Amino acid sequence: MEERRKLPRKYLMAFSSVYDNASRILLGYLCDLTLNGLMVISKIPKEAESEIELYIELPETPQFPKDSLLIQTRIIWCKDDIDPRLYNIGFQFIDISEEDKAIVKQMIEIYEFNREQELFPPLANELNREF
């Protein structure tokens, strides 16, 4: 099969657990990250267009001023993973503080989440429709 990836694959050096903050149920693990959203690999399928507050554990490192992020998101899509037991879930940031946005930017740089920004949908406040 011909390789269509435009950027080389990056293997994560740290795995961040991602939880549904309301239920504190582990959704899965951070797989990809941009300033607009993130992707989680999960054993639990989720309904697209639903909103969820994510609790994201950060790697233990002195580079981050706190040990977790709490971010309001919208589920954009949920697709089967290559492993039939798992799902890939795409989340779009709805509301993220400037402090958390700076941490996300650091994570992208440190852990090489170097993806094209266009792969994720725009932030909710950048869309021309009302929610």
pLDDT in tens, 22-53: 999 999 999 888 899 999 999 999 999 999 99
Q: How many CB atoms lie within 10 A of CB 74?
A: 19
Whole-structure pTM value: 0.75
Domains of the chain with CATH codes? 17-115 (2.40.10.220)
Report pLDDT for 63: 83
By the 10 Å C-beta count (0-12 exposed, 13-18 middle, 19+ buried), 29 is classed as middle
Angle at 122 between CA 72 and CA 84, to 5 degrees: 70
Overall average pLDDT of the 86-91 stretch: 95
pLDDT at 9 over 50: no
Contacting residues for 76 by C-beta, under 8 A, at least 6 apart: 37, 48, 49, 90, 91, 92, 120, 121
CB 110 within 8 A of CB 103: no
How does residue 75 score in pLDDT terms, banded at 50, 70 and 90? very high
pLDDT confidence of residue 128: 53
pLDDT at 47: 93
Tokens 């951070």 belong to which residue?
30
pLDDT band, very low/low/confident/very high, at 126 (cuts 50, 70, 90) = low
| Res 30: pLDDT | 93
* The dihedral sign for the CA sequence 111, 123, 88, 80: negative
- Both structure tokens of 66: 């706190």
